[in-house]
Structure 1
């Protein structure tokens, strides 16, 4: 049986409810973080719908969302230019290992290039070896920077 390819597109208002569910899976189930209030999750999605601070892409198949990727827009002082940060790339368990991850990644990469950003960067957890293998397959190399947070 041939698996249908997911359609990748920017998130729209009609996606807010399902995208919220996926974001809770990502935040709470995958990363084991506390559940943020719904108003904050929906507010973030709506902030990204206007494409000013960032953009979310969704992977859709047969009318259902399988996952999302989020790009935030920022600047780099060292090159005096704008750049993107792919903050999230998430797929439901059943969609992992399909072409949807590559398609979401490529959508972020294409958006970055087509809109004149200097580069796209991202992070993943040090123990997320599956994601690291995926990024290396996509041609990425581990960066030289050490990440801190407070």
Structure 2
């Protein structure tokens, strides 16, 4: 398998939309957002001002994506990236695609002067937690709340 990791481009809109629906609805069992909302998010990230998305591609087929949002850390008094999403389709899991996407995000973070990259996953996503530990991450001291 010849995997290319690259930033999302406008031509990826339809395939990426399908991947995002797999991630949101099939994987995380959340309500399906309207296509307009998904497209608006993708288009916002294409501007690369508030965040950026990367995709893993094999011969024109998208196998996964990662999303970095740009933020700040008051305690570091510096800018950071937050990897909010890392998703790989079932057939490509365990093939190294996740590692390639993760490392691409790490490299982007370092090469663009961000202080560090943080990431989040669901408390019941044990597979992702094991993956992040394998990638050198550790559970932080902060609790993440949402409403």
Residue 58 of structure 2 corresponds to which residue in structure 1? 61
Q: What are the residue-to-residue correspondences of 1:1-150 with 2, within 5 Å?
A: 4-150=1-147
- Gaps of at least 5 residues in structure 2 are none
CA distance in 2, matches of 1:137, 1:79: 25
Shift of 1:50: 1.4
CA distance in 1, matches of 2:39, 2:94: 28
Contact 1:5/1:100 (<8 A) preserved: no
How far does residue 125 in structure 1 lie from its aligned partner after superposition? 1.1
Give the Cα–Cα distance (whole angstroms) in 2 for the partners of residues 5 and 90 of structure 1: 18
Q: Which runs of 4+ in 1 moved over 4 A?
A: none
| RMSD of aligned residue pairs (Cα, Å) | 0.7
**What residue ranges of structure 1 are gaps of 5+ in the alignment?**
none
Q: The residue matched to 1:72 in structure 2 has which SS?
A: strand
1:77 Cα deviation from its structure 2 partner: 1.1
Distance 1:58 1:112 in 2: 16
Supply the distance in 1 between the matched residues of 2:132 and 2:143 (Cα, whole angstroms).
18
